[in-house]
Amino acid sequence: MSETPTTLGGRSPVARVLTWVLVAIILAWTVIPLGWMLLSSVKPESAIKTATPTLVFTPTLENYARLFGAGNDITPFAVNSVIATVTATALALALGTIAGYGLAHWRGRGRKHLAFWIISTRMAPIAAVILPLFIIFRHLGLLDSVAGLILAYLSFSLPFAIWLMSAFFADVPRSIEEAALVSGASRWQAFWHVVLPTVKPGLVTTGVLCAVFSWNDYAFASSFAGPASQTLPMAAGRLITQGGVDWGQLTALGVVVTLPMIVAGLAVRRWLVTGLTLGAVTAE
Amino acid sequence: MASDLKVVGTTARQGVRDRSRSRTLLRPPSFEMRMMAPALLVLAALSLLPFLTLIYMSFSEVKLLGGLRFEPVGLENWQRLFTDPDVRASWVVSLIYLALTLGLEMLGGVLVALVLYRITRGRGLVFALVLLPMFLAPIIVGLLGRFMTDYTIGLYAWVLRGLGFESDVLGEGTTAMIAVVAMDAWQWTPLVVLITLAGLTAVPPPLFEAAAVDGAGYWQTLRSVVFPTIKGVLLVALLVRAMDAVRFFDIITITTNGGPADATKIIPIRLYETAFRFREIGYASVIGLVMLLFSIILANVFVGVLGRKGLTK
């Protein structure tokens, strides 16, 4: 962000007060649901099930303890979530980075078609992808396996990684690479030792965004996963039963699922614009 | 951070800059191809294979019980698509949902960005807080929405009762639609804010001073200075949001699952129930292919926008 004070909207006291009133409204709209989730997760059940919202109560970690209690321990769900997310992200990042470099510099005919195929794969509606994958996985015995989930997550993470890394590589001046080539490095050495270190922010951003979208997935997991491969978002979906909802446990789980992603997401805040617009907008 | 912003096209950079000198040095084209090969092979397996399967299924009746079988039915599924009032109704619901969420997110995002742009103190913190909803799993957003609007214990339900609104929000068609749109807007307006702010920081401050010297008011400055500068960025924001809005359906799945009385039954929900509840997988494939066509058109526009140079400087 630029530090120059803007003159858009003037500096009069009225304008300033109005700005802060609006900021307060915006923050309330954004933060209240999150704050309420956090607050409810440390409430005893008696304080949640009230017609008038309770603000005064004795905080308890009971809801979190029950997430790991007997009968509905979420540890296996968490393990599956971590394995599926980390593996899919690592594969997408490794393959996508190398291919992203290729795409950024390849000038062959059909380049446009190739780029378009990659982006449309990333943008394919999840429901339309689930259907054939379900049939294929069923045929291959990949339903209810973490391997199947990894493949499903790769289907959107890989094109995303190729496309985004190619946008980051395209911004690296060719001259530094040429210097390495002139001094006798091979193309691969120049890529590995000279170009790759300059796109570290791109690697981290791409990795974080792939991980967030995989970690947060519910549609694929609820279609493919079974008893042996359930993930944390599925655990959340399953806490909704006909007999009523244990909101204390659910909000605690919500906090557990959300917190690591917030930490990761804010860590790459500077490059979020680039990442989330697939390199279409860059602001630095 | 410096404040130069570019809307760039990866496809648009045709290497004019470096073609002259580097041709002799960097032109074994096979190296780029070799770099792309592994990923493209995996991607082909993950996208073309399902795509062809989907097309094949759309001309079949798919039997799951007693082993997987495809029985060819010709154009039956396709013919049914054009005479199915339910699917048509779902498309209408989808388009309403898209128009409402995108409209709200674009308008809200630009307004919020204009407000945040004026803050100097505490900017980083406010900005970080505003971004938070984007990192939630959509399923958690939906569950949180249910919790907040729960008729007996929900905080927002209680607020609404205080305002004289007595009924169960997710229990009636119109209010359920408003609720799921609000949840989507809560989660994704921050993305539009983020992109718009990136565009705003690219407006050179001297332009504002010039506008002020010319005696232009706030709205006039917006119209003649700010908007022309951020137009391209806004288009990117709209397209990115549109493509993702077509992809996801978690929020509706967990809140209303298309109800009440199909009021929020967007196309993905309809497809899902056709395939997995009614077991009409062949017909669901046709619905899926039409969805795919829709997203391919959007992606095409996106690439076209990227390819046009000089959106902003």
Q: Residue B259 — left, alpha, or beta (φ > 0 → left; ψ -120 to 50 → alpha)? A: beta
pLDDT, residue B5, reads: 52
* Chain A positions in Cβ-Cβ contact with residue B236 (cut-off 8 Å): 277, 280-281
User: Which tens digit of pLDDT belongs to each residue from A12-28?
Assistant: 888 889 999 999 999 99
Q: At what angle do helices B173-200 and B227-247 cross, to 10 degrees?
A: 140
pLDDT tens across the length of chain B (313 residues):
444 455 554 444 444 444 444 555 555 557 999 999 999 999 999 999 999 999 999 999 998 887 788 999 999 999 999 999 999 999 999 999 999 999 999 999 999 999 999 888 888 999 999 999 999 999 999 999 999 999 999 999 999 999 999 889 999 999 999 999 999 999 999 999 999 999 998 888 888 888 888 888 888 888 888 898 899 999 999 999 999 999 999 999 999 999 899 999 999 999 999 999 999 999 999 999 999 999 999 999 988 888 764 333 2
Cβ separation B236–A280 shorter than 8 A:
yes
Q: Is B174 an interface residue toward A (CB < 8 Å)? A: no
Q: How far is A160 from chain B (nearest CA, A)?
A: 11
How buried is residue B216: exposed, middle or buried, by Cβ count under 10 Å (0-12/13-18/19+)? Answer: middle
- CB proximity list for B113: less than 8 A, separation 6 or greater: B192, B193, B196, B197, B200
Cβ separation B64–A98 shorter than 8 A:
no
Distance CA B147, CA B139 (A): 12
Q: How far is B289 from chain A (nearest CA, A)?
A: 7
DSSP state of A1: -
Distance CA A194, CA A185 (A): 10
Q: How confident is the model at residue A140 (pLDDT cuts 50, 70, 90)?
A: very high
Across the A:B interface, residue pairs with CB atoms under 8 Å apart total 369
pLDDT, residue A83, reads: 98
User: Which tens digit of pLDDT belongs to each residue from A53-107?
Assistant: 988 899 999 999 999 886 778 999 999 999 999 999 999 999 999 999 999 999 8
**Torsions phi, psi of A166, nearest 5?**
-65, -35
Q: How far is A121 from chain B (nearest CA, A)?
A: 7
Q: Is B282 an interface residue toward A (CB < 8 Å)? A: no
Distance CA A48, CA A52 (A): 9
Domain A74-278 in CATH 1.10.3720.10? yes
For A22, nearest residue in chain B (alpha carbons): B115
**Torsions phi, psi of A217, nearest 5?**
-65, 140
Q: At what angle do helices B155-162 and B138-149 cross, to 10 degrees?
A: 40
Q: How far is B100 from chain A (nearest CA, A)?
A: 18
Domain boundaries, chain A: 13-65, 74-278
Per DSSP, the three-state class of B1 is coil
Q: How far is B262 from chain A (nearest CA, A)?
A: 18
Distance CA B43, CA B40 (A): 5
Q: At what angle do helices B281-307 and B30-58 cross, to 10 degrees?
A: 150
Q: Is B186 an interface residue toward A (CB < 8 Å)? A: yes
* Chain A positions in Cβ-Cβ contact with residue B115 (cut-off 8 Å): 19, 22-23, 26
Go through chain B and tell me how many residues it has: 313
* Chain B positions in Cβ-Cβ contact with residue A279 (cut-off 8 Å): 8, 10
Query: Residue B186 is encoded by which pair of tokens?
Result: 């809560």
Closest CA to B7 of A167, A157, A207, A104: A167
Cβ separation B305–A280 shorter than 8 A:
yes
How high does pLDDT run on average in chain A? 92
